[in-house]
Amino acid sequence: MLRKKIPQLFLVLLLFNLIVLIWPAPRCHALEAGQAEEPAPPEMNNNDFNYLLEGRPDPFKPFIEPEVATKVDPNEIIDEEVELTGMQLFEPGQLALVAVMFAGEKKIAMVEDVTGKGYVINEGVLIGRHGVVSEIRGDQVIVTETARTRAGNEIVTTVVMRLKKEGDK
């Protein structure tokens, strides 16, 4: 009895599969009589992928913009592109006042760098990037440093180099 039902069951399943394959797919909307079917939009017919930018961010644009990342400080001191020579190679803090001499109206001071090498300076000598020896007194040398900012302001500072007495560190 089972042998007779197996071919019949096989035949029913085969017939069902044929009907499913041949039967047309259901339509989402009914076509009116005499109306031709509209072709699918070109985006749907083409297998290529098209990325529409409308309303979306550009995926290749960097997240951080250079203008936002680099803020310019108007109070930043601008260093001029000048070749430094002589005493301009030393900042006042790198030098120690060793001696002060007066010869009539002429005032001379002797300074020493960290290696122990001595230098003679006069009033008006340039020291460091922005400094000028403005005055030599009996026990000190006054250096005036003038720097310019991006905004065009001048910053003037005074550095005093004192003569160390015996026993001072």
| Residue 102: CATH number of its domain | 2.30.30.830
Structure confidence at residue 75 (pLDDT): 76
Residue 148 backbone dihedrals phi, psi, to 5 degrees: -110, 140
Q: Is 148 helix (H, G, I), strand (E, B) or coil?
A: strand
pLDDT tens digits along 125-142: 999 888 999 999 889 999
Report if residue 135 sits inside a domain. yes
Does 157 map to a domain?
yes
Calculate mean pLDDT across residues 76-91. 83
Range of the domain at 135: 86-162
Residue 127 resides in a domain: yes
In this structure, is residue 104 part of a structural domain?
A: yes
153 located within any domain: yes
Contacts of 145 (CB under 8 A, 6+ apart): 92, 128, 130, 131, 132, 156, 157, 158, 159
Structural domains in the chain (count): 1
Predicted confidence band of residue 47 (pLDDT cuts 50, 70, 90)? low
The answer to the question of residue 71 being in a domain is: no
| Residue 7 pLDDT > 60 | yes
Question: What's the confidence (pLDDT) of residue 160?
Answer: 94
Domain assignment present for residue 156? The answer is yes
Decide: 122 and 142 in contact? Cβ < 8 Å: no
Q: Which residue has the higher pLDDT, 100 or 50?
A: 100
- pTM equals 0.55
pLDDT attached to residue 38: 61
The β-bridge relationship of strands 140-148 and 118-122 is unpaired
pLDDT (0 to 100) of residue 27: 59
Contacts 24+ apart (CB under 8 A), 125-133: 125/86, 125/87, 126/86, 126/87, 126/88, 127/87, 127/88, 127/90, 127/91, 127/92, 127/95, 128/87, 128/88, 128/90, 128/91, 128/92, 129/79, 129/84, 129/88, 129/91, 131/91, 131/92, 131/159, 133/109
32 falls within a domain: no
Q: Is 152 left (phi over 0), alpha (psi -120 to 50) or beta?
A: left
Q: What angle do CA 144, 147, 151 make, to 5 degrees?
A: 150
Question: Who has greater pLDDT, 83 or 33?
Answer: 83
Question: Average of pLDDT values for 98-115?
Answer: 91
